[in-house]
Structure 1
Amino acid sequence: MATVGQWISGARLRTLPMAVAPVIIGTAAAFDMGALHWGRAVLAAVVALLLQIGVNYANDYSDGIRGTDEVRVGPLRLVGSGVVKPSHVKMAAFAALGLAMVAGLALVIVSQAWWLLLVGAGAVLAAWGYTGGKNPYGYMGLGDVFVFFFFGPVATLGTTFTQAGSVNAAAVLGSISTGLIAVALLMANNVRDIPTDTEVGKRTLAVRLGDRNARLSYVVMLALSLALMLFIAPGKPWILLVLLLIPFMLMPSWIMLTGKKAKNLIPVLQQTGLLNLGFSVLFAVAMVLTAL
């Protein structure tokens, strides 16, 4: 029987900043529009966190039964390591996704944004379809597209809309930036797994680009996430606070560009997640200072 610590490890907590960051940005944009609703912000955060945990368990289950994780460098995989029965991990994934749906329904009811039910259903299907089903899109190199879409514009603009009833330029550009950082995290993860993914036929975007180009794309995405904020700066100069992240982007970028081995890329995942969280916090601070 797996320990509580192993279940927590399987939930991959280091990926959770990727879920929280768009909610912080979306809420900050709503505040900038004079429409902050803390209750709805909390509900959006609960939905995002449960979806992320659900997709992590779903990936653990699907990759595990396919044998993708039999030889793996990185955090513990519950099914691949054999410490938990596949059916139990599958149930954990369904439980998290089910709770996310309940929280999402509550958010839709209080915001009266009924069309978001379709978006929520799409998010749940995307969470399962990443590595699950007969033709998982994550195995075809489309995972990066879906991660950008759902952890960028969908999560950020959905959060803003449920509070303000509309979105603004800051929300849109912020959503693109956080989406790029989320994809950068996924790219770092997939660069680490290029050898094993290639062997099992998992054609991620990193595999398709090749090791060198995939590593370079990581740096480009981080740079673009900050560069986009320059378009907001003329009206909101405090947004330039995000440039404080540049020194913290240098180390993970250096590790990626210098071609470190798979095990050396593991810290990059946590560093990138924290960069996304830092970006969202500085974005929020900028919105608050602009309003003063």
Structure 2
Amino acid sequence: MTKVVEADKGIKVWWHLTRPHTLTASFVPVLLGTSMALSINHETVHFGLFFAMLIASMLIQAATNMFNEYYDYKLGLDNENSVGIGGTIVRHGVAPKTIMAIALSFYGIAMLLGVYICAMTSWWLVAVGLVCMLIGYLYTGGPYPIAYSPFGELVSGAVMGMGIVLIAFFIQTGDVTADAVIISVPSMILVGAIMLSNNIRDIVGDTEGGRKTMAILVGRHNAVTVLAGFFIVSYIWIAGLVILGHLTPWALLVLLSVKKPIEAIKLFRAKEKPLEVMPAMKYTAQTNTIFGFLLAVGLLVSYFI
């Protein structure tokens, strides 16, 4: 019985290491880009490419989380009292080299899937994929980690929120259109919002650790205001595209998700301690997930009706 319990704990530790609730930041953009290909270009979905892209994106996201885990430990930012989704090394005793090995193996599998995607579409995607993987590593690795700078939100949003959407769109259509770019803007903003919410929570610890995140530079109150601005712009952007005729009114399904960002901002305004604002981070991630999913549904409904 004891061995079963220990095995169960072991599985939970390894599952926790991937930071599963963050994987929606790679899943939703692939779904959105594929839905756009069907709705905008009226393409037939190639499900082999869809699933290859989906798995590769999630593997790269999980590996990026592991690089974050590894380098936060190496730089002394993680300890037994740290609040957050990391800490597998300091709390569960997983060897740092093991985490790095798993991350690199995930990259290897993603590269194999990338070869299949390129063979089926365009070999130009090799360069795009390698750049994305390099950014995933440099986000917390290398001499000048992106996550420790004011550009973390911009880079993560551009690569994951917009880049993945456009790649998913391209592998289905063979092209990247202006409509695809403008429709993916809210996805870019909301992925950046996830990173910003994380930095707002960690503002004290990150300051002590020498980071220079946007939240630190503008101050906590202003950072929460910026986060609220991210949410507002995302919803207004979709409404504007509907008014201008780029999207059908079905895209306004995204409004069903508006409760989550309101809850996030209210909590960030009311509380400051890292443990107390953890739900606000969850609401921010849920906003990205639900917003992107509802937008994809709206695109698919407008196509089939």
TM-score by length of 1: 0.94
CA displacement, residues 180-212 of structure 1 (integer Å, 9 cap, x when unaligned): 111111111111111111111011221122111
Question: Cα RMSD (Å) of the superposition?
Answer: 1.7
> Are 1:8 and 2:15 counterparts?
yes
Secondary structure of 1:263 counterpart = coil
Which of 39, 42, 47 matches 1:34? 42
Contact residue 63 and residue 103 of structure 2 kept, 8 A: yes
> Are 1:196 and 2:208 counterparts?
no
Provide the rounded CA distance (Å) in 2 between the counterparts of 1:65 and 1:5.
23
Structure 2 residue aligned with 1:274: 286
Change (3 A) 1:170 1:273: farther
Provide the rounded CA distance (Å) in 2 between the counterparts of 1:285 and 1:189.
28
- The range that moved more, 267-276 or 55-64, is 267-276
Provide the rounded CA distance (Å) in 2 between the counterparts of 1:287 and 1:14.
24
Structure 2 residue aligned with 1:248: 260
Change (3 A) 1:240 1:216: same
Trace 1:89-108 onto structure 2 (pairs within 5 A). Answer: 89-108=99-118
Aligned residues: 291
Give the letter aligned to residue 80 of structure 1.
V
Give the letter aligned to residue 34 of structure 1.
H
Provide the rounded CA distance (Å) in 2 between the counterparts of 1:10 and 1:269.
18
Contact residue 69 and residue 86 of structure 2 kept, 8 A: no
Contact residue 229 and residue 240 of structure 1 kept, 8 A: yes
Give the letter aligned to residue 255 of structure 2.
L
Structure 2 residue aligned with 1:135: 144
Provide the rounded CA distance (Å) in 1 between the counterparts of 2:89 and 2:212.
21
TM-score by length of 2: 0.90
Secondary structure of 2:258 counterpart = helix
> Are 1:265 and 2:274 counterparts?
no
What are structure 1's unaligned runs of at least 5 residues?
none
What are structure 2's unaligned runs of at least 5 residues?
1-5
Higher relative contact order (CA 8 A, sep 6+): 1
Contact residue 25 and residue 174 of structure 1 kept, 8 A: no
Structure 2 residue aligned with 1:79: 89
Give the letter aligned to residue 132 of structure 1.
G
Secondary structure of 1:114 counterpart = coil
Secondary structure of 2:277 counterpart = helix
Provide the rounded CA distance (Å) in 2 between the counterparts of 1:103 and 1:210.
42
Trace 1:62-211 onto structure 2 (pairs within 5 A). Answer: 62-70=71-79, 71-81=81-91, 83-111=93-121, 113-211=122-220
Contact residue 29 and residue 170 of structure 1 kept, 8 A: no
Give the letter aligned to residue 272 of structure 1.
T
Contact residue 188 and residue 265 of structure 1 kept, 8 A: no
